[in-house]
Amino acid sequence: MDRRMKRILEILSDRDYCTAELLAQEIHTGTKTVRNLLKEINQEIEPYGAGILSKYGVGYFLNIQDHERYETYCRKSRACGFEEYLPSTSEERVQYLLEYLINRGTYVKLEELSESLFISKRTLTEDLKEVEQFLKKFNIRIIRKPNYGIRLEGKEFDTRLCIASFSGKRLHKGNESMDEIAAIVSLVLKENDFLITGAAYQNLVVHLYIAISRIMECHYVPMPEGLLDNPKERYEYHIAETIAAKLEERFHLSFPENEILYIAIHLAGKKMFLQEAGSGENVIITQEISDLVTAMLERVYDLFKFDFRSDLELRMILSQHLVPLSVRIRFDMDMKNPMLRDVKEKFCLSYTMACNAVTVLNEHFKVSLSEDEVAYFAFAFALALERKKTEIKKKNIILVCSSGRGSAQLLQYKYKNSFKDYIDDIIACDVGSLYKMDFSRYDYIFTTVPITLSVPLPILEVEYFLGDEDIVNVKKVLCAQKSFSVRNYYKRALFLPHLNFRTKTDVLRFMCQFVIEKKNLPEEFYESVLRRERVAKTAFGNQVAMPHAYKAMSSETFVCVGILDEPVEWGDQKIRAVFLVCIADKDHTSAELQHFYQLTASFLLSQKQIQELVKKQDYDAFIKAMTQMEETHPM
């Protein structure tokens, strides 16, 4: 029995008769809802010798035939109302306090709370600090008033987002109402060809369940200013109306227009955009969104030197994702990503690129996007990287031969024709002219004659007449990648054990200055790392942080590893290991850098490996563990 039904029973217990209109005013709902609630109350109390009867022109009254049985029912209801689960750990108490304070609404004294939880006031104060930190993310404050205690203050919209955040998973367990809401939502979305992801669907069901619960407790979402542009003309609003109508019928309550708009906002923030003919709705990508995507791809290029700026498919995926995301940002809605850990481990380079790309959004919208939201962008970059894998980076070749000019041109033509997918530019010359060549523009030398001159390029000796075996050998050379080894990136000289600093800034200042001197980096490298820290989180989880510079400044890719003797606060996490990653300022092939990031992520996410690292703080043990991981994850 919800609070509205209990209130109706209280009113009827104190009066002889009461009209539906008066009851509706008392519980802030419509008369139709009141009549439906009266039916439910009647069904519940009938087995206990009581019932709700009506008298035409007078109203409703509580008719008790068996006072003893009805009193038993009342005692049982009161007992159930005060039967409380007592949490035993700090985590459980924080969850309990969040639920209790949100549902209570009025002031409660700390003495009452500590006594009811059987904990000291000091322990309660520590738990409330965590509660306050959690609430802060949803713009909800704890109000303290002498002699009254504490209560929460925040907007209803934010309160519902908060409830969904701390109780979403728990609500799904054995909840018949959730199942019924899910069935209604699934049916309406299917009928309207409205596509959302599985995670977004679960999230929407949770928010609808919370909305219904809050409406039953007489808490309504007010009309925010500038909600959505022409909301009633939006496709989402019409779907929200259909969902609301079906929920009203099932749960006997009324959804005012504000609540329908609330559903529409959630739909707009969760929609998947697929370019399908005849979908009936245009996908509008504004100039603002287009400019943001351009800036995101520029920022990825600045740091990683992967050029996606002309990748139209990636641009469209990012743009379409930004349409619903801009709604979520506007209303502080966060969409959980059930694949977050898998994305970090299996698509670490894509995830790190996404982390860098969303700094544009963080600056533009003045927000800090969560790891869950970043992971959705990572999928788009992962697809773009896979496409790059299939692209062969064409090579420039110097072709050396001893024959006359006509024969040299013929040989040049043969190579261009046979290897057109592999060779961008090929120039022919004789051995005597080789010393005049600008070797920096070329990748290989193919020669039909011996070369005694010292040259800085690999030399492949070839036959004048190309046979099948020759073609295979040449293609192997042209497709070859550099040999990968973790030792290329993790050098002993850049392994810093037993660091003793108290703050994140102190750690970064020391490590940045160290690599500036060791690797001859520009002095602004430190400020570039701090700038990156200001616009995006770099705590990777598992006691690890992975800071980057804002843009690439090094001639090579390397990692400086710092191990702290004591943890430091790094945003909202405590960190013991810092992996300062420096990316080379040159165009990359995706395979090698992807493999480096994947191995690094596997190591950073391994609780066992990080515990061993911070315990031993030994380079040889670290590189051995990384090498073993490399052997089990070949390129």
The pLDDT of residue 104 is 83
CB 533 within 8 A of CB 567: no
99-to-162, 498, 609 alpha-carbon distances in Å: 10, 42, 37
Length in residues, the chain: 635
The kind and range of the H/E element at 578 are strand 573-582
Beta bridge partner(s), residue 150: 108, 144
The pLDDT of residue 491 is 93
Which CATH code is given to the segment(s) 3-82? Answer: 1.10.10.10
CB 289 within 8 A of CB 327: no
Q: What is the mean pLDDT of each run of 10 residues along the chain (635 residues)?
A: 76 84 80 87 89 88 88 69 61 89 88 82 92 91 93 91 78 75 92 82 88 88 64 83 94 89 86 47 70 94 87 86 86 81 84 93 91 90 79 78 67 78 83 84 84 82 66 64 71 96 96 95 94 87 92 90 96 92 75 80 90 95 90 65
- What tokens does 406 get? 């006509």
Q: Where are the alpha helices (DSSP H) in 524-589?
A: 525-535
572-to-527, 534, 540, 597 alpha-carbon distances in Å: 22, 14, 11, 24
Q: Can you tell me the distance from the alpha carbon of 12 to that of 603, in angstroms, rounded to the nearest whole number?
A: 66
Q: Which amino acid is at 50?
A: A
Q: Taking the CB of residue 134, how many other CB atoms lie within 10 A of it?
A: 17
Can you give the residue ranges of every domain in the chain?
3-82, 90-154, 159-268, 287-378, 395-479, 486-632
Dihedral, CA atoms, 423, 425, 427, 433, nearest 10 degrees? Answer: -110
Q: Where are the alpha helices (DSSP H) in 390-423?
A: 405-418
CA nearest 533: which of 551, 510, 558, 550?
Answer: 550
- DSSP letter for 555, please: S
- Burial annotation 343-359 (CB, 10 A radius, 16+ → b, else e): bbbebbbbbbbbbbbbb
The pLDDT of residue 320 is 82
Show the CA angle centred on residue 83, arms to residues 82 and 89, nearest 5°: 120
Q: Can you tell me the distance from the alpha carbon of 44 to that of 51, in angstroms, rounded to the nearest whole number?
A: 9
Beta bridge partner(s), residue 539: 545
Quote the CATH superfamily of domain 395-479: Response regulator (3.40.50.2300)
DSSP assignment of 186-251:
HHHHHHTT--B-HHHHHHHHHHHHHHHHHHHTT------TT-SSSGGGSHHHHHHHHHHHHHHHHH
CA nearest 506: which of 564, 549, 560?
Answer: 564
The pLDDT of residue 243 is 95
The fold of the 90-154 domain, in CATH, is Arc Repressor Mutant, subunit A (1.10.10)
Question: For the chain, give me the number of helices (H) and strands (E)?
Answer: 25, 13
The pLDDT of residue 248 is 92
| Contacts of residue 34, Cβ cutoff 8 Å, sequence gap at least 6 | 8, 20, 23, 24, 27
Show the CA angle centred on residue 507, arms to residues 545 and 513, nearest 5°: 115
Residue for token digits 């929407």? 204
The pLDDT of residue 11 is 86
Q: Which amino acid is at 475?
A: K
The kind and range of the H/E element at 67 are helix 67-82
CA nearest 150: which of 96, 94, 112?
Answer: 112
3-class state of residue 579 by DSSP: strand
Helix axes 235-251, 198-216, angle to 10 degrees: 50
Show the CA angle centred on residue 505, arms to residues 499 and 508, nearest 5°: 55
3-class state of residue 285 by DSSP: coil
- DSSP letter for 483, please: P
The pLDDT of residue 628 is 87
Q: Where are the alpha helices (DSSP H) in 83-175?
A: 90-104, 110-117, 121-136, 156-171
The CATH architecture to which 486-632 belongs is 3-Layer(aba) Sandwich (3.40)
Residue for token digits 């290991």? 577
CB 399 within 8 A of CB 446: yes
Q: Can you tell me the distance from the alpha carbon of 559 to that of 561, in angstroms, rounded to the nearest whole number?
A: 6
Q: Select 287-378's CATH number: 2.40.50.140, 3.20.20.80, 1.10.1790.10, 1.10.3720.10.
A: 1.10.1790.10
Dihedral, CA atoms, 200, 202, 203, 207, nearest 10 degrees? Answer: 140
- What tokens does 343 get? 């994305």
The fold of the 159-268 domain, in CATH, is PTS-regulatory domain, PRD (1.10.1790)
- DSSP letter for 480, please: -
Q: What is the greatest pairwise CA distance in the chain?
A: 119
Q: Are 90-154 and 486-632 the same fold in CATH?
A: no
Sign of CA dihedral 620, 625, 628, 634: negative
CA nearest 446: which of 399, 377, 492, 407?
Answer: 399
CB 546 within 8 A of CB 581: yes
The β-bridge relationship of strands 558-570 and 573-582 is antiparallel
